[in-house]
Structure 1
Amino acid sequence: MYLADHTWEELGDYFERESLALVPVGSTEQHGPHLPEATDHLIAEAYAREAAERTGYLCTPTVNVGVSPHHRQFHGTMWVDAPVFRDYMTSLARNLTYHGVDRIVFVNAHGGNVQHLREVGRRLHDADEAYAIEWMWDESIPDLVSEAFERNGPHGGPKETAMIQHLHPDLVREEKLADARDGGWPDFDEEVAKVRKHGSRTFYDSVENSPNGVFGDQTDATAETGERLFEAATEQLVALCEWLAARDSADLAPREHV
């Protein structure tokens, strides 16, 4: 169920029955010449709402702006500083605990948010306020994603392109797929090895490596592949929610000092 569609009385009935919430989290940032800046938060919301529909668990409104300063050189990219994001997400989670939620799944679709959502989860866990975990769609089905594309990439590549082709085909600039590939880093794994020096990552921003900000071969993506990946990852998210809901509260609490 989607929180914003319901009245406070209807939501009260939910909180009497359940204590789990899905919080979709994405970004608003450049995704090359072929995908919209909404890419990440559209994907996060689609997964969270689909899982909520299948399970009956609560889905909150989407957090659309995340930690994206590494894309700042490209027009329109929005971001908040990492400490602000962590504080905001912590406060948002505590809002949910006030209503009785003690299990939260951050349904995340932006790599730049991962470490910060993990930190938010640790804050809440250490304080014994909630058990909050970060879930990233492609990390739930790594083998399937790897097999689906010959030249994958972590940002604006074929996996995200296929996902938007499936979810919002009208937002994909199909005529720009070859430009995205040729103007970026089509062979990500080979190229990233060249910019790591003596074990150190020597770059901070996407533009330092990719002139158009994307990685991978976008021409390898199709809506059909996107649908297959979406279904597989949704199954993983549903299973995660059911696993988390079934856990005993004592198992989720922080351990005592030895």
Structure 2
Amino acid sequence: MTSREAAAALETSKTVVLPIGSIEQHGPHLPNGTDIMAAELIAEEVAARLDAVYTPFCPYGVTPIHAGHPGTVTLRRETFEALLTDVCTELIKAGAETVIMVNWHEGNIPSMNAVATDLQDRYGVTFIAAQACYTAARLYRDEGGELTHGGGIETLAVLAYDETLAKTELVGEPTRPPGAFEMDEMRRSPEVYGFITDVTELADDGWYGNPHWATVDRSKDFTHVVASGVLAGIEVVMKARRIRANNQQKESP
């Protein structure tokens, strides 16, 4: 996209979609870029279906719990937040009025929320955060899909991105170390939750789950399924904002 094309696209849409993920180890069978690959796939479809502007972002995220494992690159929170702030600020100055962040890494969430609330307050624009990994977990739960680190749903995302990158033949039987699932549930609870500071608290080799649940056939509609779930959530947010705006207009003298 040229500069002129970018200006025209933002003038038409006023909405940008950013993929946000991380670069971190995913066991012997998935690439370090699993999270950003998943985020990019979903963000691209979301942008296309909204006629919004897809805006590439940094592939790195806040992932200190994976630090020290070969291939992992973690940013400090202040680095990630500064980068996200600068990118979003430039997009807003260029004409963006709605910023949609499509994320596939829970370690980014606190920083994303901090940046979004700060910039929304400062510039009067709308920020929406879509936790696509959690959307995928909900949508595939009834089929037996689990959002474990390096497990079935993440393998499905890699197969959808490029099936040659998923090397499930390198792992044997599904693995579920005692307490791993419970620790994941604990740290992801929306109510009362605790923390882990090293991924080996889940599993000694840094991953667990059932990669073999994912198949090439099942992966063919992964992007569409998850993007549809994300879009439904975006519509809920936008509907709430429209209701609020209409009420404010009615209250105006």
Structure-1-length-normalised TM-score: 0.81
Contact 1:18 1:57 (C-alpha < 8 Å) held by counterparts = yes
How many aligned positions are there? Answer: 241
The change in CA–CA distance for 1:11 and 1:210 in structure 2 (over 3 A counts) is same
Runs of 4+ in 1 over 6 A off after TM superposition: 243-246
Tell which deviates more after alignment, 29-38 or 112-121. Answer: 112-121
Bigger Cα displacement from structure 2, 14-23 vs 28-37:
14-23
Identity of aligned residues (%): 26
> What is the CA distance between 1:131 and its match in structure 2?
1.7
State yes or no: 1:206 paired with 2:199: yes
What does 1:50-89 correspond to in 2, within 5 Å?
Answer: 50-89=45-84
Counterpart code for 1:172:
A
* 2:228 is the alignment partner of 1:235: yes
Q: 1:244 to 1:219 in 2, by over 3 A?
A: same
**Paired AA for residue 11 in structure 1:** A
SS of equivalent residue, structure 2 residue 102: strand
Question: Any unmatched runs of 5+ in structure 1?
Answer: 1-5, 253-258
Instruction: Indicate the residue corresponding to 1:33 in structure 2.
Output: 28
Q: 2:170 aligns with which of 158, 169, 176?
A: 176
Distance 1:114 1:223, change over 3 A: farther
| Structure 1 residue 98 displacement after superposition | 0.7
- Identify unmatched segments of 5+ residues in structure 2: 247-253
Distance 1:194 1:24 in 2: 26
Tell me how far apart the structure 2 counterparts of residues 41 and 193 of structure 1 sit (CA, whole Å): 22
Conserved? CA contact 2:147–2:154, under 8 Å = no
CA change 1:85–1:202 in 2 (3 A) is: closer
148, 154, 164: which one aligns with 2:148: 154
Hey, what's the Cα distance between the residues in 2 that align with 1:95 and 1:76?
30
Q: Verify: 1:218 aligned to 2:208, yes or no.
A: no
RMSD: 2.9
* 1:255 aligned partner: none
The residue type equivalent to 1:178 in the other structure is G
Tell me the CA shift for residue 241 of structure 1: 5.3
Opposite residue 189 of structure 1, the aligned amino acid is F
Contact 2:84 2:115 in 1 (8 A): yes
Q: For 2:106 and 2:147, how far apart are their aligned partners in 1?
A: 12
Q: How many angstroms apart in 2 are the aligned matches of 1:174 and 1:19? A: 41
The superposition leaves residues 175-223 of structure 1 with CA deviations (integer Å, 9 ceiling, x where unpaired) of 12326x44x648743465899xxx8736411023312211322222222
